[in-house]
Amino acid sequence: MALALQAAVTVPRCPLDAPYDPRNPFAQILAGKAPASIVAETPDMIALVPIAWERPGHVLVIPRRAVRNLDDMTATEMADALLLARRIAAAQRRAFGNTGYVIQQNNGGGAQHVCHVHFHVIPNTPVEKVEHATPAQMEGMRARIVAALDASGD
């Protein structure tokens, strides 16, 4: 029985106590070594279009600082991330007409695929799954959200 339980436990990709890996995709974006479709920036945060989404308008909010999970963020960074997520959610509503959204954030669990803390801002738009967006798809998504941010004066 104990062996069966042990086999059922999956090892997380981003365990909470592991060191920060500067080779992760977000670190590469922050270092200017990888492209990104950035929709908004603050001194501490960047909002960008992910490479894959299930719902059009999906945006990620990431801290500029190398930080693995929520436990390592400062209170100011957490507040900045949620304030930017709220701005993005309002722009999503203007751009896509959605009536709601989800903010999702994972810490060391099986759903965390990039070991740099990030917040998913997912509008309740109809499902249109994209597994690996082209640069043109990402730019189109970025342009719609930026236009909606600009329309609000944000």
Name the residues annotated as catalytic. Answer: 118
Which is it for the CA torsion 91, 150, 39, 54, positive or negative? positive
Closest by alpha carbon to 138, among 32, 45, 34, 56? 56
Torsion of CA 72, 75, 80, 81, to 10 degrees: 40
Q: What is the CA radius of gyration of the chain?
A: 16
